[in-house]
Chain A
Amino acid sequence: MNVELLIQLIINGLIIGTLYGVVAMCFTLIYKASQIVNFAQGEFLLIGAWVCWWLLTTFHLPFYAGFLMTLVFMMVFGILLQVLVLRPMIGEPIISVIMVTIGLSIFFQAIMNWMFGIFVQPFPRIFETRAVDIFGLNVQPAYLMSLVISVFIMAGFAWFFKYSRLGLAMRATAFDQQVAQSLGISIKRMFAMSWAISAMVSALAGVVVGVVSGVSAALSFFGIKVFPAVILGGLDSIIGAVVGGLIIGVLENVAEYVDGQWLHIGNLYTVAPFYVLIVILMIKPYGLFGTETIERV
C-alpha cells in the first residue's frame, strides 16, 4: 500500500474536484434560473479555452487582455445562445429542451474540432512551472493557481447571490417566476444573464484547465463529468454542486488508485463516477442538497 501516492492522488482529486465544482455550479445556475438542462456545458469550456488560446497565439496579446476579451466574447455568446436558440423553446416538453442542448453540444464540438484540430495545444507560458513543495508533496503551481481561482469563483458566486441586486433577482426568478415578474424583475433578462454568467465562468474554468494541461477536444468531457457531480449534490443546489464536484474528483482518483493497486481492470477512473451516479439515482434521486418534489394523487 502506497500511502504517499494515495495522498497525492487525493490532492489531485480535490484540485480537479474544485474545477468540477465550478462547472457544476454553472450548470446548476442555468438549471435553477431557467429550468434548462444544459448538455452543452462542456462546450462552453471548450469554446472559451480555444478562443483564449487563439487570441494569445495569433495576436500575441498579453494574457490578461486576451482573457478579458474571451470573457466578453463568452458573455455575448451566452446571451445570443439564450435569445436565439433557447428562448423559442420555452414551454416545450423537457425532451425537446434536452435535445436542443445536445444538438448544440455536438454542433459546437464539431465546429471547434474543425477550426482548431483535435490535437492538444499547449497554452503560451504564463507562470513558472517549477513544482512547489507543500508538506513534502510536489504540487504544480498551475494546479495551485486553479485551486485558488476556483475557490475565488465560488466565493464570488456566494457573494453574488447573497448581496448583489442581480443575484437576488435571479434567486427570486428561480424561486417563483410569476412572483418575480410581478415584482418588476425582467424574466427574459434574468434568463439571458444566467446563460451569460454560466458561459463566462465556464470559459474561465476552461482557460484554467487549458493552462494546466493544454487545450483539446477532451475539455468537453467536463460537461459529461458534471452530471455525476450535480446529481450527487442535488440538481438545484449551488452548494451541492461544489460538494458533489469535490466528491467526484476525489472518487475518480481513489478509484484509479484502487484499480492500479489491486483490481487492474483499467479505465475505472472514467467509469466509476457513472456507477456512483446510478446508485445515487436509485437510492436518493434528489441528491444530498436538492429539493425533493413529492407528488401525491
Chain B
Amino acid sequence: MATNTMMRCGEFKTTYRADTTIFPTPWSRNFAILGVVLLVLAPLRIGPFEFVSDYVITLMIQIGYLGIAALGLNILVGFTGQISLGHAAFFGFGAFASAWLNNVLGIPVFFSIPLAALWTTAVGMIVGIPAGRIKGLYLAIATLASQFILEDFFARADWFTGGSAGSLAAPFSLFGHEIQGDRQYFYVVLAYMLVMYLLATNLLRSRDGRAFVAVRDHYLSAEVMGVNLTKYRILSFGISSFYAGIGGALYGHYLQYVSVEGFNILLSIQFLAMVIIGGLGSVMGALLGTIFMVLLPEVMQGLVGVLKTTEWGNIPAITDGLTWIKQASIGLAIVLFLIFEPDGLAHRWRMIKAYWKLYPFSY
C-alpha cells in the first residue's frame, strides 16, 4: 500500500469503497483537518494579540451562512440540474421562521434553527411540486414567480415577519449560556458549516446522491433505470430549502434582526452566481464561490477607497456610485466566468492540486 508516499503518478482505485471515500488521499484528509484547526484557532485572542481582526471575523461568518445556503443551491442546480431563481426567498423564510419559532412559541434558538430549516423544507417541497412536471427554462421562470410570491408574502404577513418593521431574533444560546459577540458566534456558524458540508458530501456518495446526478445527466435514462423522477426532483428542492433555511436562520440570529427587504431577486442571483463561479456540481465549489462573492464587493470597496486618494477621487461618479459598482461587478463576474471559466473555481482548484501533486516533475 502506497499510502505514506506523497508522489504517485496517478490515482488508481481498485474498490468502490476507495472510489467513494471523502478524502482520496491521507494528505487531503490531513489538510482538511489542519484547515479546521486553523479556523478553530482563528478567533482566539491571547491578551492584546489577535490572529484575525474583527472585520475578517464578520466576513468569515458571512461566508459561513451564505456558504451553507449556496451549498444547498448547488445540490439543486449542480447535482440535480434543476434551476432555481428563488433561493433568496427560502433563505429569508428560514430567517423569519426561526425568529418566529423563538419569539412566539418560545422554542430555544438552539432548536429553532433546525426546526425552521425543516419548515423551510416543507415550503420548498410545495414550491418544488411544479418541478415534478416542468424543467429547464420553464422551471427557472416558475421559481422566479415563487420568488416574487414569497417576497410579497413577507411584506404582507405581519404575524409572521412583523411587516415593514421586521422581526427581532434572539441571540444564540447554548445550555443557558448566551453567545456574545462575533468571535463566539463564529464557532456556531463553523459547527453548522462542518456538519452541513459533511452531510452534503455523504449524501452525494449515497444512492440518493447518485440518483440526483442521474436525473441531471439524462433524466429519461434515469427514469428507465428506476429512478423516480418526481420524487427526486421534489426531494432535491426539499434538501436545498433545508440548507437555505439553516443559512437563513443563522443569518437572522447573527444580525438579531430580520428585515423584510433584502431577500430579493438580486440575492437569488447572487446565490446562483456563487454556485456557478464556484463550480456546478462541486461541494468545494460552493464554498469557493461564496468566498469569491463575499470578497468581490469588499475588493471593489477597497478599490474605490484607493481611487479616492488619487486624482480620480474628485469624480463624484466614482465615490457615490459604490452600490452600482458592486452590483455591476457581480454581473460582470458572472458573464466573464461563464465565458472564460465555465467549470468555475473548483476546476481551477483541481488543476492547482494536480499540479502540486506531481511537483516538480509534471509527468
A interface vs B, CB < 8 Å? 37, 85, 88-89, 92, 94-96, 98-100, 102-111, 113-115, 224, 227-228, 231, 235, 265-267, 270-271, 274-275, 277-278, 281-282, 285, 295, 297
B141 and A107 contacting across the interface, CB-CB below 8 Å? no
| 24 contacting pairs across A/B (C-beta < 8 A) | A92-B342, A95-B77, A95-B280, A102-B269, A103-B269, A103-B273, A103-B338, A106-B327, A106-B334, A107-B331, A107-B334, A110-B324, A110-B326, A110-B328, A111-B324, A114-B321, A228-B145, A266-B156, A271-B148, A274-B149, A278-B142, A278-B149, A281-B138, A295-B220
| CA of A266 to CA of B325, assembled, Å | 34
Q: Mark B116-137, 1 if CB is under 8 A from A, else 0.
A: 0000000000000010011011
Q: Tell me whether chain B's interface is mostly helix, strand or loop, or mixed.
A: helix
B83 and A105 contacting across the interface, CB-CB below 8 Å? no
* B contact residues around A271 at 8 Å (CB): 148-149, 152
* A contact residues around B330 at 8 Å (CB): 103, 106-107
B339 and A281 contacting across the interface, CB-CB below 8 Å? no
Beta-carbon nearest neighbor of A87 in chain B: B339
* A contact residues around B36 at 8 Å (CB): none
Chain B's nearest CB lies how many Å from the CB of A70? 22
Beta-carbon nearest neighbor of B223 in chain A: A297
* B contact residues around A266 at 8 Å (CB): 156
Q: Which residues of B, 134-188, contact A by the 8 Å Cβ criterion?
A: 134, 136-138, 140-142, 144-146, 148-149, 152, 155-156
Q: Tell me whether chain A's interface is mostly helix, strand or loop, or mixed.
A: helix
* A contact residues around B85 at 8 Å (CB): 102
| A285-B134 contact, Cβ under 8 Å, with A100-B335, A102-B272, A266-B156 | yes
Beta-carbon nearest neighbor of B327 in chain A: A110
A105 and B140 contacting across the interface, CB-CB below 8 Å? no
| A89-B133 contact, Cβ under 8 Å, with A107-B331, A224-B144 | no
Additional A-B contact list (8), CB under 8 Å, known A94-B83, A271-B148, A281-B142: A107-B327, A107-B331, A109-B331, A110-B331, A224-B144, A227-B145, A274-B149, A281-B133
| CA of A274 to CA of B280, assembled, Å | 28
B141 and A227 contacting across the interface, CB-CB below 8 Å? yes
* A contact residues around B338 at 8 Å (CB): 89, 92, 96, 99-100, 103
Beta-carbon nearest neighbor of B219 in chain A: A295
Return the contact of B133 from the options A103, A105, A115, A282 (Cβ within 8 A). Answer: A282
Chain A's nearest CB lies how many Å from the CB of B346? 15
- B332 contacts chain A at the CB level, 8 A cutoff: yes
* B contact residues around A37 at 8 Å (CB): 137, 140
| CA of A110 to CA of B327, assembled, Å | 6
* B contact residues around A274 at 8 Å (CB): 144-146, 148-149
Return the contact of A114 from the options B81, B134, B224, B317 (Cβ within 8 A). Answer: B317
Beta-carbon nearest neighbor of B224 in chain A: A297
| CA of A115 to CA of B321, assembled, Å | 9
B328 and A111 contacting across the interface, CB-CB below 8 Å? yes
A231 and B141 contacting across the interface, CB-CB below 8 Å? yes
Chain A's nearest CB lies how many Å from the CB of B176? 42
| A270-B152 contact, Cβ under 8 Å, with A110-B327, A282-B130, A295-B220 | yes
Chain A's nearest CB lies how many Å from the CB of B80? 11
* B contact residues around A228 at 8 Å (CB): 145
* B contact residues around A108 at 8 Å (CB): 331
| CA of A108 to CA of B265, assembled, Å | 15
Return the contact of A109 from the options B276, B321, B327, B335 (Cβ within 8 A). Answer: B327
* B contact residues around A89 at 8 Å (CB): 338-339
Beta-carbon nearest neighbor of A35 in chain B: B137
A285 and B138 contacting across the interface, CB-CB below 8 Å? yes
* B contact residues around A113 at 8 Å (CB): 324, 327
Among A100, A227, A231, chain B packs the most CB atoms within 10 A around the CB of A100
| A85-B324 contact, Cβ under 8 Å, with A99-B272, A277-B141, A281-B142 | no
Beta-carbon nearest neighbor of B134 in chain A: A285
| CA of A111 to CA of B327, assembled, Å | 9
* A contact residues around B22 at 8 Å (CB): none
| CA of A98 to CA of B272, assembled, Å | 11
| CA of A146 to CA of B317, assembled, Å | 34
A102 and B334 contacting across the interface, CB-CB below 8 Å? yes
* A contact residues around B327 at 8 Å (CB): 106-107, 109-110, 113
A270 and B148 contacting across the interface, CB-CB below 8 Å? yes
Return the contact of A278 from the options B145, B152, B280 (Cβ within 8 A). Answer: B145
| CA of A89 to CA of B334, assembled, Å | 13
Beta-carbon nearest neighbor of A265 in chain B: B156
* A contact residues around B133 at 8 Å (CB): 281-282, 285
Chain B's nearest CB lies how many Å from the CB of A264? 11
B331 and A106 contacting across the interface, CB-CB below 8 Å? yes
* B contact residues around A265 at 8 Å (CB): 156
A277 and B145 contacting across the interface, CB-CB below 8 Å? yes
- B266 contacts chain A at the CB level, 8 A cutoff: yes
B328 and A107 contacting across the interface, CB-CB below 8 Å? yes
| CA of A265 to CA of B149, assembled, Å | 14
Chain B's nearest CB lies how many Å from the CB of A288? 15
* A contact residues around B269 at 8 Å (CB): 102-103, 106
Chain A's nearest CB lies how many Å from the CB of B307? 14
| A114-B148 contact, Cβ under 8 Å, with A94-B136, A99-B272, A105-B331 | no
